[in-house]
Amino acid sequence: MTIICVDDDAQTAKRTAAACQKIAQVDEAVSFTSPVSALEYFDEHIVDIAILDISMPRMSGIELASKIKQKSLSTAIIFLTTFPQYAADAFTVHATGYMLKPLDEKRLLEEISYARLISFKDLSRRIVVQTFGGFDVFVDGRLVLFAQKKCKELFAFLVDRRGNSVTRAEVYAVLFEDAFYDRPAQKKLDSLIRSMRDTLREYGIEDTFELKSACMRIIPEKLSCDMYRFFNGDMIAVNSFRGEYMSAYYWANMTESLLIRKLTDADPPQVEKDDDSPLKTSSVKQ
């Protein structure tokens, strides 16, 4: 496993890399003070984990993380910073960990172990859906790019329904905030559905979507979703939830509230097996 450590303070970067090198699973840990040099390293090396400072001159850790994801989607991001107020920003780039300085080597080991577990679990499925924080879909590690924002929102809403069928009228009311569903609205929605299906077909995942008569749904067994795993009591998913769910969509607030309530009211979840089905019950209280 290869790790890079980026901090504008050279001593901190070297100290972090040295701590990583003590971990048995780590083959190489390289330190950088320049974000540009760190990005260039990706051109010739596979990097499993990037540990980044957030507050750096010229390029922030958040911006660097975004550029890293463009080069290597599979690289896990862990932030090491002095400032706790950046936590919300950190998870917009799908960071797996967030640590405060000074470096705690025990916590570092926990975060690296957690990042490896997330990576192994996600790679076990072709289709990975991330709902905690923002919403994104990945196929074989590649980000799915929808032709229109509303097409992406349609897919997100169907994921949120966890395999339950919804009518065209229900979908239209959600996507367009209770707009009246008439003949022009039906044509508008049909166009969105066609565009979404074209995107799914382009990425070879059209079989995740089912349309029958006036109803549609996602087939949850076809994909790996953090929210589904959360409700199944998967501790990796439970620990990865930071209080934000599909933050771009107003209609996601209800599920976000349910996630928060289950997290705060739950008994310790029991992990039954590696199963992403949203239909299985767990010890999380209803």
Better pLDDT: 155 or 221: 155
pLDDT digits (tens, 9 = 90+) for 186-214: 999 999 999 999 999 999 999 999 998 88
Q: What is the pLDDT of residue 259?
A: 94
Residues 6+ apart with CB under 8 A from 20: 3, 5, 26, 29, 51, 108, 112
Q: What is the pLDDT of residue 152?
A: 97
Beta bridge partners of 138: 128, 143
Q: How confident is the model at residue 278 (pLDDT cuts 50, 70, 90)?
A: very low
Look over the chain and give the mean of its residue pLDDT values, rounded to a whole number: 85
Q: Is residue 285 over pLDDT 90?
A: no
Domains (range + CATH), the chain = 2-123 (3.40.50.2300), 125-286 (1.10.10.10)
Taking the model in full, what pTM does it have? 0.58
Q: How confident is the model at residue 145 (pLDDT cuts 50, 70, 90)?
A: very high
